[in-house]
Structure 1
Amino acid sequence: MRRTIKSAARLAVLAAAFGGALASAQAADLPVYTKAPPAAEAWNPWMIRLRVLGVLPDTGGSSVNVAGVPALSSPNSGLHISNQVVPELDISYFFTQNIAAELILGVTRHHLTGSGTLQGLDIGKTTLLPPTLTLQYHFTNFGAFKPYIGAGVNYTVFFNNSASNIPFAGLAVTSLHVSNQWGGAVQFGFDYMLNKHWGLNVDVKKLWLQPNYSAMVNGAIPVTGTAHIDPWLVGAGVTYKF
């Protein structure tokens, strides 16, 4: 009888141990569920800016060659090109958080007059379409303040050229042509982001733009030269990051 009780007790202990091991094994096989992390917001590489842009030509060094009239030619005379303020659209694409390409689009119309011995001569007007593409580096370690620098290329199309045909001291420009021109560009600026989409922008560019031009005075005297426009583009506006 005593042996029977001991055997039963041993069987009970073995059963309990086996049952615990089985339960542990089953628990180990069960999948462990954890709370999923929040979905990351997709990064959009596009940005646009709308600016008010001041176009400030720097015409020092422009040449003027009046056929047969050395007294009216360089270095005694030069050109003056008017400043202009226009709206401008900028489209940027970010290859990474730091590297972006920017294309600016805008149209300006400028008034050309003589300087030096040609002071007071109204030459005419021309319209510029100067798309400029730059490659930029954006600094991202200043919080909402995001400065950048860039360099690139500009191709300016001159169109709607119109001679003034206004007499001055017996002279009047009767035709005007300005050649399209490639040029280099550098820039610096910053965005100050008010939130993840909207911000304020200040941007300064320098273009090297020196197109050749030709004109006719009094319908008979050819005038040729190079216009050193070399403008500063100074802009301020709003930024929208998609």
Structure 2
Amino acid sequence: MVRANHNRLRALGGAVGLFAVAASAHAADLPSVKEPSPAPVVDSFQPFFVKLGFTYALNTSSSRLWGQSPTALLQGVTTAFPAGVGATLTDVATIGFEAGFYVTHNISVDVSAAIPFYIKDKTKGYNPANPVLFSGTTLAQIMPAIVPITVLYHFDNFGPIRPYIGGGIGVGWSFDNKNAFLNDVHVSSSLGPVIQGGVDYMFDRNWGLSLDVKKAFNYVQSYANGVNLPVVGPFPAKTYQHTNFDPWLFSIGLVYRFGGGEPLLAKY
């Protein structure tokens, strides 16, 4: 009896072994399944760009004035005193442009400029004497220029929308100065920090719409060698003006990217 059970167990074990071998052979005959290949990425990177559009300079500037009093000068006193009023610059609308290149896919170096126009340097406040100055008196007309040079980081995980932020320096000077209440006006050059932010919306690999804002912080010193007094006329008196030239620069326009050749399959 025991021997018969032992023979049956040996037969059952052999059958199981044969089934395992057959299953292995069948599995070896089946085609292997590969992981799907990732979709190819088209690299349409264009390293150079230019922007052209409308720029509005909101001049949130403020100035401190000192001057030699004509009355005191006639008495031989040449010391310059606070003028009793401040000054500010008017806003200006112009055509702005910007150019630059991408050092990497996300970091660019930008240079901005605009067509210069004359703006008015006006008094802010009222001084009743030596000389009389009413608020809003035009001291001079100047043609300022500021050229921001910035480094920007562009975020590229929003599809065609590419916001950016960064900063740099702004170089400022005046192309020309016209007399008004002041004569023989001189404006020094300046250098100060600039912060910048904005967004590019790309229609395709080359063309897009750009919205941009910059804030400049420049300190400017200027002086004049004379004043135009009512009735008296031109009078030699030194006037000094220290200005915190801190405009907001708002721009909207087209952006064109180029220089990358035809799109290629990305290698990364």
TM-score (norm 2): 0.68
Question: What is the alpha-carbon distance in structure 1 between the residues aligned to residue 196 and residue 46 of structure 2?
Answer: 24
Question: What is the alpha-carbon distance in structure 2 between the residues aligned to residue 43 and residue 211 of structure 1?
Answer: 40
Matched pairs, number: 197
Aligned runs of 1:184-195 on 2, under 5 Å? 184-195=193-204
What displacement does 1:41 show?
Answer: 6.0
Question: What is the alpha-carbon distance in structure 2 between the residues aligned to residue 128 and residue 120 of structure 1?
Answer: 19
- Paired position in structure 1 for 2:241: 225
Residue 97 of structure 1, aligned match among 82, 105, 120: 105
Residue 213 of structure 2, aligned match among 204, 213, 236: 204
Q: Name the amino acid aligned to 1:64.
A: L
Aligned runs of 1:70-85 on 2, under 5 Å? 73=82, 76-85=84-93
- Paired position in structure 1 for 2:138: 122
TM-score (norm 1): 0.75
**Identity of paired residues, percent?**
26
What displacement does 1:43 show?
Answer: 3.7
Aligned runs of 1:19-30 on 2, under 5 Å? none
What displacement does 1:195 show?
Answer: 1.2
Aligned runs of 1:172-187 on 2, under 5 Å? 172-187=181-196
Q: Name the amino acid aligned to 2:108.
A: A
Aligned runs of 1:132-171 on 2, under 5 Å? 132-164=148-180
Asked whether the 8 Å contact 1:107–1:128 carries over to 2, the reply is no
- Paired position in structure 1 for 2:9: none
- Paired position in structure 2 for 1:240: 256
Which runs of 5 or more residues in structure 1 are unaligned? 1-37, 165-171
Q: C-alpha offsets along residues 53-101 of structure 1, whole Å, 9 cap, x if unaligned?
A: 00111123x110022479x835x31112110011011002001110000
More strand by proportion, 1 or 2? 2
Asked whether the 8 Å contact 2:113–2:147 carries over to 1, the reply is yes
Q: Secondary structure at the match of 2:244?
A: coil
Question: What is the alpha-carbon distance in structure 1 between the residues aligned to residue 43 and residue 197 of structure 2?
Answer: 29
Which runs of 5 or more residues in structure 2 are unaligned? 1-39, 73-78, 127-132, 228-233, 259-268
What displacement does 1:219 show?
Answer: 2.8
Q: C-alpha offsets along residues 155-205 of structure 1, whole Å, 9 cap, x if unaligned?
A: 1121211112xxxxxxx3222111111111001100011111111110000
Work out whether 1:66 is the aligned partner of 2:67: yes
Q: Secondary structure at the match of 1:96?
A: coil
Asked whether the 8 Å contact 1:54–1:235 carries over to 2, the reply is yes
Question: What is the alpha-carbon distance in structure 1 between the residues aligned to residue 99 and residue 57 of structure 2?
Answer: 19
What displacement does 1:222 show?
Answer: 1.1
What displacement does 1:129 show?
Answer: 2.4
Question: What is the alpha-carbon distance in structure 2 between the residues aligned to residue 157 and residue 107 of structure 1?
Answer: 13
Give the 3 Å change call, closer, same or farther, for CA 42–121 of structure 1 in structure 2: closer
Question: What is the alpha-carbon distance in structure 2 between the residues aligned to residue 139 and residue 177 of structure 1?
Answer: 43
Question: What is the alpha-carbon distance in structure 2 between the residues aligned to residue 189 and residue 126 of structure 1?
Answer: 29
Q: Secondary structure at the match of 2:86?
A: strand
Q: C-alpha offsets along residues 4-35 of structure 1, whole Å, 9 cap, x if unaligned?
A: xxxxxxxxxxxxxxxxxxxxxxxxxxxxxxxx
Q: Name the amino acid aligned to 1:181.
A: S
Q: Secondary structure at the match of 1:227?
A: strand
Asked whether the 8 Å contact 2:46–2:206 carries over to 1, the reply is no
Give the 3 Å change call, closer, same or farther, for CA 232–129 of structure 1 in structure 2: same
Question: What is the alpha-carbon distance in structure 2 between the residues aligned to residue 209 and residue 41 of structure 1?
Answer: 40
Give the 3 Å change call, closer, same or farther, for CA 42–239 of structure 1 in structure 2: closer
